[in-house]
Each structure stands twice: as C-alpha cells, then as structure tokens.
Amino acid sequence: MEEDIRKWIAQCPECQARRSTLKEKKAYIPIEITEPLELVGMDLVGKLTPTKQGNQYICVMIDYFTKWTEAYPQKSKSAKEVSDCILDFFYKFGAHKRILTDQGKEFVNKINFDLCESLGIKRSLCSPYHPQTNGLVEKTNGTIQR
C-alpha cells in the first residue's frame, strides 16, 4: 500500500507542483586570521532601556584573532559616535588592518569611510540579511543582551 501511495503522489501534477524541494546547504568558508588586529568585527546592540546617562546602544568591537572584546556605551546610532569607538579602539590597541561591519547607515557613511581611509583601515561589509558573516560579534551581542 505504501508503494501505491508513493506512485500516486509521484504522478499527481498538483502534488509535484506543491512539493518542497530540499536545497543543499552550502558549506561556510571560515575567515582565516593569522595575527592580532588583522580583522576587527563591529556592531551595535540596541535600542536598549536608557541609562541614567542617556545611553541606549552598545558598540561592540572584537579582534577576531584574540577574541578581545570592547563595548562602548552610546546615546545614539550616529556615525560620529561610531567613529569615536573606532578611534578609541585605535588609540588603545594600535591600527587594525580591516574592519567588518554590517551595512547599517551608522557604519556606511562618509565620516567612517574617511576615518578608516586616514587610519589605513580596509573596510569589509557583510552581505545584506546575512549576519553570520560577522558571527563572532553577533554571538557576543546575544550574550550582552542577556
């Protein structure tokens, strides 16, 4: 009887049209990092409940090699506040070679492009709707939000 059902479904045009297809999952290609400050991931957490100082966001920056994490409180998602975080990280640890962010307007703007260019930092952007590209930072964001 099971075989008859399989044959009937296989010959039914409507069943075939509505059938779900299993897509083969593509393997992730890991980001290979060989030294500290080669790649720094950056993202914002928030909008959170405002603190007494008025901070509603946290700017998270992580060195992909050492996993060292810096978290900066921010009042807004402005390009100016994000660039201040980049500068603070730069002053504490030295020049990082590349920075990885999503395509939020707080990261993709003239202020930050000019700052990175003047510091010699290359920019890498995650694909839209694919936060896994910056997975280390995204996972840390989840930990911070708990």
Q: Where are the chain's structural domains? A: 39-145
- The pLDDT of residue 23: 62
Rounded to two decimals, what is the model's pTM? Answer: 0.72
Residue 65 in this model has a pLDDT that exceeds 90 = yes
131-139: average pLDDT: 69
Q: Count of CB atoms within 10 A of residue 86's CB?
A: 24
State the chain's mean pLDDT as an integer.
84
Instruction: Compute the chain's Rg from CA coordinates.
Output: 22
pLDDT in tens, 35-58: 999 989 898 888 888 999 999 999
Q: How confident is the model at residue 74 (pLDDT cuts 50, 70, 90)?
A: very high
CATH tag for 39-145 (out of 3.40.50.1970, 3.20.20.150, 3.40.50.261, 3.30.420.10): 3.30.420.10
